[in-house]
Every structure is written in structure tokens, then in C-alpha cells.
Structure 1
């Protein structure tokens, strides 16, 4: 598969879809049935949001027809699978033109399958016809990533909400599967490494950062005797290591406000490197609990008061 030129102006005008028409009547087809953190099946009403998403990071749009071209459905599945591997570098947008013929008309589709790369609301490659192999697709995605890096385009998509499972609960985010499996197996070190990988891939992912922070709390407290830790902290009230250990244990025990209060007071009493260490540790615990939690909001106000 020949690498297509990558340029910002765009090759095809998609502006006609920015004001989506009503969906076509009749019974919709099932489509690919794919769902993932970085995969979305696109209809007329959703096309605007896909264009908007491409302002953040590239959208790889695949036009396919399960009834007329089985290989096009395979391409859609392969693109979705690869996009999931990049942790938000790309969003796979899948257009089933059997279900949504108006999109095919707007795109002036002459053949299927067809693949576009959208950025800033417009195509940045010529439409890519045919059904490349999985290996060719991986090469294409890698080369595209290199070109994006050279041009300083580093944005990432936030994960999409997964569909609800059979019990009505949201399906698990596939990004965290390896780390969660490690936690279930009691392998805290591997869980920390998996979460760290996700954070390094997308530093703006607050959820991954929060999970990493909690995994680190588990890592630090492995095998620690609670009573011994409390005795050490009582004996050395300004010892940062002793106080942060008890704060970690309090957090795991559900005493979140006690953990925060302990470290806020430590910040208030200490100075220099000790104060910095206590503050950084507290910020890590804020992330572990979740920045929208009211206890965290109160803790941040208390920390600001202690600092200033």
C-alpha cells in the first residue's frame, strides 16, 4: 500500500455534512457491531461530532458496505482494532453506507471500501481505495504517526463511553484490561507499569493518571503493618516518610479526609524539601481519589491555605 501524501488543506469538501440531514428511513443494518474506547459508528446526525473530534486528533474514516463488499467490513474491523492500540492517537469512524446512504452521497463515493484521514474537519490524504491487508494498515498507521510527529501534531482523543453490558452497567474500558487483570492477580508491580504506560502515551488522560496514583498507593503499602506505621508516625510527627505512609493506609482504609488532613498539617509544619515532598504526595492522593470528589476540592482549599 503506497503511502499517500499528508497535507493540511484537504482533498475533498465534506462541508455538506456539517449540517446533517435527517436519517434515512427504513430498518438500519447491524453494522460492524464494534465498540471501543476509540471507535465510533457514524450516522448522519453524528458526522458533525466526528468532524469536531478531528480538530483534536486524526479520525480515520472507513466507508464500507457489509452487503455489497464483505472485504470492506473486514477493513472497518481492522481499522477499529488498530486504532484501539494507539490509546487515542486516532479515532476510527466507521460509515455503513447500507444504513446511511446520505453520507455516501455527500462524500460522492464511487467505490467501496474507501478510507479517509480527517484532521481539522477535512481530509488530509487523498481517499484511499481498496482493502489493504492488516500488515499494510499497520505500516500506514505507523507512517502517518511519524508524519504527525514531524508536523508537531500531538493531540489525542479522549476515550468514548463504552456501551452498557448485559447487566446495564457500563462495559469495562479495554485500555485498562491488562492493568486490572494484574490487580486481580495481585501483581501490583505489573499494574503500575501498565497504568504508567497509558499515562506516558496520553498525559492528558486524567482517569489513567488517577488509576496510576491509586496503584502506587497499593504498591507503597504492600506488606506494611498498620499499627507499626501509626506508632512510627506518632513518634516522629515531622517525618515525611512516616506521615505519608499512614496517609496512604488511611486512604486505603476509607479514611480519606483523615489522610488529607494529616498531610495538610504536615505541609503547614514543614519547609523546604520536606514541604515539597509532602505537598507532592498529597497531590498524588488527590488524583487517586478523583479531582471532582468534594473531599478533594476541600482538601485543595486546605492545602492552599497551608501553603499561603
Structure 2
């Protein structure tokens, strides 16, 4: 869709489709209709996220790319942080549907903004040796660019798995310690606050020193934090581990999108970024599944340490395969 329609139209259509899905949650209380709405929002999210990444990769010069991607990731974190508070305020006035109205309003705003951004310059399609236009396919992109997908892409799989697991390990270990829900929420919130504060400096380091100077420390810090978390015996020690985890995740803001943009070809960028996104989504699915399986069969601590091991593996992959030179 992004390759065929262009980034601006894809983002606008995705926001409109998600708004329709959100509207189903407001106007219909049947479980089946609600499930369709959730599916629509998930579909739209995939299109919107890929299109906005492709747009920035084209619109921003390479020397500012990491800062742009980190800022994008940081702004998304701010939205995730503010959204629940805005929804809670409206819910206190009109009930649970208030959360859906807040979501619908945000999606309409995103649609309007997407509609008003300028179109990118249309690139001429690649041509074969005989002068005919060469068709770009996902299979062709995967065949011609398998190396970054199989090397750096595997590191992306690891960081996505760790990040997805990170969202559940803090409340799970808080419950394991017998902490109440308010304390667990406070610890999670402070971890998220640290996460939001460091995205721009991290992008600046990536632009000036190279991607590896952020990717490797990000994974190492999260590995250390996850390794220490099962050793936490109370709220204070869990808070310290959670804040360290937030710091590691925060300095990696935008790293997946930046690496994807760096390795994407000039022709076929949306198709390549779609495959890149597939690697990340695979990690998002695999991380919590591994954590749950080990927690169920062995213990929660073993599951968390396994995720820490994935983080260490990601650090090794990034350290070995990410080029040391800055993209130009």
C-alpha cells in the first residue's frame, strides 16, 4: 500500500481506517464487533508505522536520520504516556466510552495532519538493461538484500523480543514480590519516564558517532537490568532495576527504524521496510511467548534471565554486524 499509494496517502487512509475501528468500540458493545474493531486498528497500525518510517527515511538527510527516528520514537513514547491519563480524565466524566472518544479524537487528528504533510518527490522506477521498467517485489527485495535481514535483522528480532517482554516483567515481578497494584504502577511509570527523557541525546550520538554506539549499550544495559530484576527483594530494588531497564530502552529509541532506513535500498524502500518490520514483529510475538513458557514450566526468574540472554545475543549481533562508519 505504501509503495502503491505513497506515504502520505497510506498514513491518511490508515488513520481513517483505525478511526472507524475505534468507533466500533464506542457504538457497539457486542464482543464480535469489538474484535473486528481491534483487528482494524491493528491493521492500520502496521500500515501507518511503516509509511511514516518510509516518509522520514526519504525526507530527512542521512546526517540527521537517527535524530529524526529517535525523536519519532520518543514522541510515540510521550503519546503512550499521556494517553492513559487523558482517557482516565474523560472516563471520569462520561464512563468507559471516554477512552474510545479520546482514541478517536487522536486518530482524527493524525488523519488531518497526515493529509496536510507534503508529498515526497516521486522517484522514477528502476529499469532493466533493455530499458523496460523493472517491477519491485517483496520476494525480489528479500533475495537481493538478504544479508542485512539475516544479520542486523536478527538483532532487531532480539531487541523487539526484549522490549515486548519488558512491558510485562515489571508488573509480573512486582506481583511475585507481593506489591500492591498502585506501587507496581508507580514503578512502571517511573521506568517509562526515564525511557522518555533520553531519546534525543541518543539520536545525536547515533548521528555523530555511529549506530553501534547506541545499539550495543542499549542491549547491554537492558541485559544487566533484566539479570538483576529477579534478585530484587522489595519495591526499592525493583524500582532501581526498572529504571535501569527504562534507561536502556530509552537510549535505543528509534534504533530499529534508523537501522531499517540505513539498509533500505533507494528503490523498493517500502518493501524492504515491510520485511524489516516483519523481523521486529516476529520478536514482539516470540519474546513474551518464551517468557511465559519458561515461567510456566520452570520459574519466572528463569524466564526473565532467558530474556536477558536474548538481550546479550542482540548486543553481540549489533556489535559485530552494524557498520562502524556513519551512513551518508
When normalised by structure 2's length, the TM-score is 0.27
Higher strand share: 1
